[in-house]
Amino acid sequence: MNKQMFTKYIFLGVSIIYLLAYDLMFIRNPDASLHIPYLECFLVISAPLFLSIHYLLWVSICMICRFLIAIYYFDINYPISLVLLFLTIFVTSFFVFLSLKFLVQKIKASYEKQMKETALSIMRIMELKDQYTKGHSEHVANYATILAKETNEYDDNSLKQFHFICLLHDIGKIGIPDEVLKKASSLTEEEYNIIKTHPQLGLEVFKNISLIKGSEDIILSHHERWDGKGYPQKLKGNQIPLCARIVAIADAFDAMSRAYRSALSPEEAYRRIIEGSGTQFDPSIVEVFKKVFPLWEKMVPNFFR
């Protein structure tokens, strides 16, 4: 249970205790007049603001139970006008919830669309710098999202953010000199060391952007290896974040057709991923890869064949 959820249910519980205590005081002083249910109204009216149908139902059920207890246990007779007022507020609250939910979903969809368009625009800039990687980021994002979903470790919202960050996993290559990035012949050790700085450069680009918070490991660690021989931090085994272990397989699978080697068939690329299990790749993620490979194979772009 997250902090926001914990807070609202604690508030609801304390409010109900207060209301029951008020009823008890009314019983002890029958001559007192019933107050207008300000707190009850506030709870019901404010419930839609949390955009949770479960919370709205809990508030509604608790308020109904509160009145039933007051009527049948404390023998309090509420005026019919008060009951009708409260029922009206319940119905209004429900329609307010539906309206807010629709509005938030619309804003969220627009925001996600803008996020993806921004990522694709940045990706196109990268492709202008290095034509050899055209389409690579998008392919990796699609492959990795399928693989991540199959692990059952991500909910729908997390998968959307995961896909977005995957589109930018190689953003650091913008900072690599053209003479190194576009070099047709084999790289020298010094040049390869320059290439290996792109994860850190990528993280530097986005370090102050809250949008990628929690997903920055995709950018920083997708070249780490299960055996600890990767870069930039030489992480080993489960030290490598799950998201990076997933992207590592997707990145390698797509890269086998492009920049630094001759194109391989999907079957050969599959075989090499399997061979890398326990050395380059997380064995458990490789097992998941075996399950999703038929889907990947259908997505392989024409230039891969």
pLDDT of residue 22: 66
**33 has a pLDDT exceeding 80:** no
**222 has a pLDDT exceeding 90:** yes
pLDDT of residue 260: 47
pLDDT of residue 303: 44
**Res. 4 pLDDT band, cuts 50 70 90:** low
Q: Name the residue ranges covered by the structural domains of the chain.
A: 3-103, 130-304
Least confident span in 88-97, 226-235, 247-256: 88-97
Which is more confidently placed, 10 or 261?
A: 10
Task: Give the pLDDT mean for 146-161.
Answer: 92
**34 has a pLDDT exceeding 70:** no
Question: Over the chain, what is the mean pLDDT?
Answer: 83
**196 has a pLDDT exceeding 50:** yes
* Contact assessment for residue 37 and residue 22, using Cβ atoms and an 8 Å cutoff: no
pLDDT of residue 3: 61
d(CA 102, CA 96): 10
The pTM of this model reads 0.71
**35 has a pLDDT exceeding 60:** no
Least confident span in 95-104, 110-119, 206-215: 206-215
Least confident span in 81-90, 179-188, 251-260: 251-260
pLDDT of residue 122: 80
pLDDT of residue 200: 93
Question: Given 1.10.3720.10, 3.50.50.60, 1.10.3210.10, 3.40.50.300, which CATH number is that of 130-304?
Answer: 1.10.3210.10
**174 has a pLDDT exceeding 90:** no
**232 has a pLDDT exceeding 60:** yes
d(CA 173, CA 201): 8
**15 has a pLDDT exceeding 90:** no
